[in-house]
Each structure stands twice: as structure tokens, then as C-alpha cells.
Amino acid sequence: MKKILLLILSVISLSCANTIDTVTEEILDGNYRVITIPGHESLPRDIVFNFNPMASKLSGNTGCNDFSAHYNQQGNNLEFSTPMNTRKYCKGKMEVERQILSSFEKVSKLDHTGNEFVIYSNNDVPLMTLIKIEQ
């Protein structure tokens, strides 16, 4: 009887530990400013993403055009659909925009420290760094 009770308590203890791990995962939610992409360490402040986890939708502005995409986040794994975007021309901003929009197809995971998030490709190359905008 004691062995069965010990086994039950062990199972309950392990399942509680797993629950704590899942609760502490950081969910992308709200507004984030893109602060770096490869080759561009200083970006304009108007490149902002909005993550809506209830709709699994990302929307934002690349500094010129608006865009939207669906995303799937499971823990630190992250995937995006091909983004749809407006098509106006903005002199001097199109290279950064193309780089941001094309990087969505390469995304596989994210990592965070505090309010800073780094989005990586499937071969662990950093694609962009976001910072949470506190409301």
C-alpha cells in the first residue's frame, strides 16, 4: 500500500512540475518594435509588429507598408504564414522591408530575455530582434 501511495505522489509531483514549465513560457502578445535585422543595426522606430494570440494573427508596419500574417507559437517554436502587404513605394525603405517580409518564411523559433525577443531561422541564424512596447 505504501508503494502505491508513493507512486501516486511521485506522478502528481512530476505532473505539477510540468505545469509550472508550461505556464512560464512567454507568449507573444501586444506591440513590439523591431530594433535590429542583419546588416541594419539601427532601424526607424516606426517598424512595429502587433501579435494577437487569440486570432493567431500578426499585423504591423515595415516602415513603409502595412502587412499581416498568421502565426503559430508553441513554446519557443514559431512559424508564420506568407505575409500579405500593401504595395506603396517608399524611397530608401524598400530594402529593409523586403528583408523583413522575406524573413517570415525562414522563422523557426524565438528566445527572449526580459522584454527583448530574438527570432531565429531553422539553422539558428538571428533574423530580427524585437522589443516589447509597454502600454
Tens-binned pLDDT, residue by residue, of the chain (135 aa): 655 645 555 555 555 444 433 334 789 999 999 999 999 878 989 999 999 999 999 999 999 999 999 999 999 999 999 999 999 999 999 999 999 999 999 999 999 998 899 999 999 999 999 999 987
Nearest Cα to Cα of residue 119 among 103, 99, 133: 103
Are the beta carbons of 75 and 108 closer than 8 angstroms? no
The pTM is what? Answer: 0.78
Are 50 and 60 in contact by the 8 Å Cβ rule? The answer is yes
pLDDT recorded at residue 115: 87
Please report the pLDDT score of residue 14 as a whole number. 52
Tell me which residue of 64, 69, 132 sits closest to 98, measured CA to CA: 64
pLDDT of residue 19: 40
